[in-house]
Amino acid sequence: MASLRFLISDVQMVWFFFTSILASVTCDDNARVHTSLGNMEGVVKLIRNEEVYQFRNIPYAEPPTGNLRLAKPVPVSSWSGVLNATEFGPACMQPSYEDYIYDKYKPNTDISEDCLSLNVYIPRNISVNANRSVMVWIHGGSYLVGQGSSYDGSYLALTGDVVVVTLNYRLGPFGFLSSPENGILGNYGLWDQRLALEWVQSNIAPFGGNPNSVTIFGQSAGGFCASIHAILPQSRGLFRRVISQSGSPEGSLTLWKNAASSSDLMILMSNCKNTNLTTLTCMRNAPARLIVDHSDYIFRYPMSNEGYFGLPSGPVIDKELLVDDPAMLLINKALPNYNFFRSLDFMTGNVDTEGSITINIIANYMQRYDNTSPFLMSSYVLCKYFMPKVMHMYFGNKNNSVTSEILCSLYRTSIPLDRAIAMKAYADANFFAPAVKSLLKHSEDNHVTNSFQYLFRRPNIDPDIHTLYKRWTSGSTHGSDIPFLFGLEDYQELYNISVTPADICLSKKMQKYWTNFAKTG
């Protein structure tokens, strides 16, 4: 069957078929739900003149402190009495940047190791018989920052009549420190996400959700995480569909390539190298705030070194959850990873200027090698320093000098500004090409499940973010699709952002696309 193409305003959807915005609150009331873990009380909000039931800060794991730090999460125990689920809980431990432009969207700035909780949004009524499809959101943030409560699932739940779940997972060194020789295997943040999905299977029915119709979706680091779960056969039964926004299993950013050296530096900075205690015991005893401060330094450190394009934290090959690079697991068609991935409905896509996340790197290159302007990139720096690093990131340690020269020539022929070339090359290597590769593997001779691709092209509506990027690009920037997905109605009132009727229309259409996929694939 020929591919079907849909173009709606600034969202382009392609169907491969080859064989947080805080809601305005005008009403408060309470709601109760009984689960196998115990009773809980949430709140009722009036949004669009309809009720949305919100249950906040529901624990799904025991606090990962003491001997549970740097360990797999332990399922939360049942409780007596009524759990207060009316207020959002703290975010997981993470650096706080005074100049971080996205901080204004945080519902709170509290951080704690006791953070493994989730939030549930139910539209209109709570009924076990509602049997609504469930969408579980995994937030992004370079595996270093973010929180589930930044994403209000109310509008998405209302538009699509689905149950939306957002969650916290451990970040930075608490979630991804990896030193196997010291018994620190890493991927604890992924294990957190997996346990949250198991919680959904066991407990979502009393909220009116259908455990047999679960979709996981996420953006950037959250999209990479969703992609990883989608290729793990042990995830079978936890979800049926996957939406990976700005992240796919084939991407070179999926894994933390700098894990060994960064983790070793973290251990050294925490005074846990060559002590009388084991390294693991020492790291479990180290002050949490100190570890966060060190993670902040390690985050900035790669940016100050030549050509490091990776992430400051992230998943690793631990030989238990991840036995190999996700891209390698999808090459062998005989592997269960390949077959499980193809048993799911899969959608992935990007914003048109994903390379906007390289701005700091480009500016650093210019300051290091040219120093004419941090807002430009000379052809010399582009071809001699920048492009070879992009090629190394995509092709590994092979000698790519000839390939780099050819590609540099091709990009310079088709794109007028060198800084735009740099962003485009980075985006193609790390976002667009991996997305297409993943879709081709998923859709080839697949007559059972559906494959979708989208492209988001609406420029960023936040004037602060637009100002940050305007010297570099006029297109949509990394993450600019998120406000449209979670709803724009209150942006103008809450953040003094101009939202047009066309924006609202686009937002609702996008929500319909996503929720329809969650229901039927």
Condensed to tens digits (0 to 9), the pLDDT of residues 132-165 reads 999 999 999 889 999 999 999 999 999 999 999 9
Q: What is the pLDDT of residue 373?
A: 53
H-helix segments, 370-432: 379-381, 387-395, 401-414, 418-427
User: For residues 316 and 482, what is the distance between their CA atoms, to the nearest angstrom?
Assistant: 26
Give the whole-number percent of the chain exceeding pLDDT 90.
58
- Burial group, residue 457, by CB count within 10 angstroms (0-12, 13-18, 19+): middle
Is 300 or 255 the better-scoring residue by pLDDT?
A: 255
Q: What is the mean pLDDT of residues 220-244?
A: 97
If DSSP codes are grouped into helix, strand and coil, which group holds residue 56?
strand
Question: Sign of dihedral through CA atoms 458, 461, 463, 464?
Answer: negative
* CB-count exposure of residue 112 (10 Å: 0-12, 13-18, 19+): middle
Sequence-distant (6+) residues with CB within 8 A of 33 are 39, 40, 42, 55, 126, 206, 207
In terms of phi and psi (left: phi > 0; alpha: psi -120 to 50; beta: otherwise), the region of 141 is left
What gap in Å lies between CA 171 and CA 321, rounded to an integer? 17
Distance CA 272, CA 152 (A): 40
Given this model, what pLDDT does residue 376 score?
Answer: 57
Note the pLDDT tens digit of each residue in 429-486: 888 989 999 999 999 999 999 999 999 988 877 766 656 555 566 667 888 899 899 9
Calculate mean pLDDT across residues 498-515. Answer: 92
What is the pLDDT, as a whole number, of residue 284? 98
Residue 456's DSSP bridge partners are 11, 351
pLDDT reading at 3 higher than 80: no
Query: b vs e for 150-179, b when ≥16 Cβ sit within 10 Å of the residue's Cβ?
Result: bbbbbbbbbbbebbbbbbbbbbbbbbbbbb
pLDDT band at 13 (very low <50, low <70, confident <90, very high): very low
Vertex 427: Cα angle to 423 and 432 (nearest 5):
155
CA distance 406 to 457: 28
The least confident of 98-107, 158-167, 208-217 is 98-107
pLDDT value of residue 362 = 61
Mean pLDDT of the chain: 84
Among 113-127, 386-400, 471-485, whose mean pLDDT is lowest?
A: 386-400
| Per-residue confidence (pLDDT) for residue 414, from 0 to 100 | 66
Structure confidence at residue 419 (pLDDT) = 66
SS (H, E, C) 311-329: CCCCCCCCCCCCCCCHHHH
Q: Is the pLDDT of residue 280 over 80?
A: yes
Residue found under tokens 């401060």:
293
pLDDT tens sequence across 53-75: 999 999 999 999 999 999 999 99
Instruction: Answer yes or no: is pLDDT of 2 > 80.
Output: no
> Mean pLDDT over residues 114-123, rounded?
98
Of 3.40.50.1820, 3.40.50.720, 3.90.1150.10, 3.40.50.620, the CATH number of 4-257+312-356+451-520 is 3.40.50.1820
